[in-house]
Amino acid sequence: MQAYFKQLADLVCALPGGADPIDRILLNFSAEQSDFIRFNHAQVRQATQVDQRYATVSVVAGLRRADGSMSLSGALQHDAQRLLAERATLIAQLPFIPEDPYLLLPDTVQNTERTEEGNVPNAVSVIEAVAQHAGGVDFVGFYAGGGVQRAFADSRGQRNWHSVRSFNFEWCIYQAADKAVKAAYADTDWQGDVLAARIRDSAARSALLAQPARVLPPGAYRVYFSPVAMADLLGTLSWGGFGVKSVKTGVSSLIKMHRDGVRLNPAVDLLEATATGTAPRFQGDGFVKPDAVQLLRAGQVADTLVSPRSAREYGLPTNGSGSESPEALALRPGDLPMADVLQRLGTGVWISNLHYLNYSDRQACRITGMTRFACWWVEEGKLVAPIQVMRFDDSLLRMLGEGLVALTDQAELVPDAATYGARQLGSVTAPGAIVDGFCLTL
């Protein structure tokens, strides 16, 4: 695949001759070779293999830029001819495109290459593992795994390549009707014993769902958020929380930290950890991102994510993608051993999953949503009963500030599970957290 891309780039990115000068040709490439498997009652309901490639060619002259995208066949000469034809069409259209005063492209060449083959199972191995470990339970799941490639090239000779083989396996074990325990296993290194342990754990917890659900009155509770639930909360912050544009225009959900000096618990260290994530280090204009960007340090705001357009507008160095949203967000773990979570929680609520998250008051960083799947009432360090689904509404500034009791000493990689059009490479890495005074509203 990499050799195919290099040859394609050499053919498409060569500057054309002619009366109309072109300053730069850009080529963005994406591909995947994925297995998708759906399970119901621990049996295969759908098994699909996807092998696809896409490219976007861009032409730039001065402050004018035109882009065109297409799917590729994998036949080099055929794909090159189609892209060259698209390039010619874009060049012809370029004089009619208005100038973009915020267009910014890199002026230095930075080549990068990352290839991680990983230990990813084939479809047969996944099916056999489910049959072996989940045959006696009502197991419903979705597996997506295989190789994903991203690449960039331009007419200056810059070449960036990113190829990672990974998997994401999410499942529910149903006790009855809509009562279920949700779990997941995602990594680049498949370990059968890890999958087996997680299935056993989720099956054991699903048995507790047979008890009547505890109905909690609205109020403030001591709560443990699993790493998955924490990833959901932090992912909501990614909606305009960390970009310089949102800060400059006053719409960032962390604006109180930037303008009013609000601080979080000193244990909160939040990074855009590109070097340790699964997303590429480069973005669509050819800029190479730093290994890490410190977004929050010891509970205080540090840096922001800056897109090339914002870099041009505000005179700042660029360090992020065009959306100014993190693609490898990571919260540093704390010092609470995972084995001690229940004891440290004492009496309160164990929240496994959340959904329907949104801002109820962006300026105050208030988030609302619902508990989901198996969430538990805990008394004196023991799971007592499932709780009825509850809505919450609380400020993340409070939750991660005065309300934060502890972060666990282990963090979990929670990948973007979206597969619309293609598998995604974004992720959030988060530990679990105990929070006091979490507001359940109804």
Quote the pLDDT of residue 178: 83
Which pLDDT value is given to residue 219?
97
Q: Tell how many helices (H) and how many strands (E) occur in the chain.
A: 10, 20
pLDDT given for residue 280 in this prediction: 96
Is residue 15 helix, strand or coil? coil
d(CA 61, CA 40): 54
pLDDT for the residue numbered 19: 63
Topology of the domain comprising 2-208 = PmbA/TldD fold (3.30.2290)
Q: Which two tokens stand for residue 412?
A: 């979990």
CA distance 16 to 71: 23
Distance CA 184, CA 40 (A): 15
Please report the pLDDT score of residue 435 as a whole number.
98
**Helix or strand (DSSP H, E) at 227:** helix 227-237
CATH 3.30.2290.10 positions along the chain are 2-208
pLDDT of residue 188: 92
> Does residue 51 sit in helix, strand or coil?
strand
What integer pLDDT is reported at residue 162 of this predicted model? 98
Tell me how far apart the alpha carbons of residues 348 and 199 are, in angstroms, rounded to a whole number. 25
Mean pLDDT by 10 residues, the chain (442 residues): 97 85 96 98 96 98 97 97 97 96 97 94 97 94 97 98 96 91 94 96 92 94 98 95 97 96 98 94 96 98 97 96 96 98 98 96 96 94 94 98 98 93 95 98 93
- What pLDDT, on the 0 to 100 scale, is given for residue 267? 98
pLDDT at 228: 96
List 395's β-bridge partners, or say none: 366
